[in-house]
Amino acid sequence: MTLADLSAVFELGQQLFTAEEWPTLYRGWDEHELLALFHSEGETCLVAEAEGRVVGFALGRVMEKPRNAWRYGWLLWLGVRPEFHRGRVATRLLRRLTELFVAREARIMLVDTDEQNRHAVAFFKRQGFGQAVRHVYLSRNLDDHPRNIERRFEDTDAEDD
Ligand SMILES: CC(C)(COP(=O)(O)OP(=O)(O)OC[C@H]1O[C@@H](n2cnc3c(N)ncnc32)[C@H](O)[C@@H]1OP(=O)(O)O)[C@@H](O)C(=O)NCCC(=O)NCCS
């Protein structure tokens, strides 16, 4: 992936990772995340092209954990233009990313997706990923936090002035 691919990758991601299809708030596709990843992990950000046009991407990073000798390759975002689905684009991106992770001495590769994302789950299983671990996301409404209540009063006062 090069600097010139950024906008095409961003647009494709926006098309693929919509709020409805990607209901969790915890991991969202936005330009800041894409730019930060490209800036710090450009070596493991890949695109697939057909006739000069970006048709897929795989964005990953190598992670090291303190007190753990193992290195991990984490595939953060994988997407393929819908017209190209089932055309082995993702398979080829994953294969290349895996080679890059192995070259950087990663011993385990991690991926994550929403449990309801059947296509991605089927794809990852087909690629040999297993040992799914469930993760629970919790949330708490902060509207009643004293600072938020105060802020609402401040806003009302400002409107009245
Ligand atoms: C998941 C995704 C990346 C797969 O890309 P792809 O290029 O279509 O995948 P491939 O053609 O390499 O698929 C290889 C195998 O994976 C499995 N697979 C892929 N898509 C599937 C689907 N829609 N339904 C069932 N199995 C599927 C199949 O076993 C397939 O082999 P087959 O076609 O011989 O049956 C693509 O569907 C996508 O971009 N989805 C939206 C974004 C997303 O969810 N990303 C993953 C989380 S970050």
pTM value? 0.90
**SS3 of 109, please?**
strand
Going along the chain from its start, the domains and CATH numbers come out as 3-133 (3.40.630.30)
Question: What's the 143 CA to ligand 1 centre distance in angstroms?
Answer: 40
DSSP letter assigned to residue 111: E
**SS3 of 37, please?**
helix
What's the pLDDT band for 26 if we cut at 50, 70, 90?
low
Residues 72-126: tens digit of each pLDDT: 999 999 999 999 999 999 999 999 999 999 999 999 999 998 888 899 999 999 9
Cβ neighbours of residue 43 under 8 Å, at least 6 residues apart?
A: 100
pLDDT of residue 109: 97
Is any atom of ligand 1 closer than 6 Å to the C-beta of 60?
no
Is any atom of ligand 1 closer than 6 Å to the C-beta of 123?
yes
**For the chain, the helix, strand and coil percentages under 3-state DSSP, each to the nearest 5:** 45, 20, 35
pLDDT of residue 139: 86
Residues 45-54: tens digit of each pLDDT: 999 999 999 9
DSSP letter assigned to residue 128: T
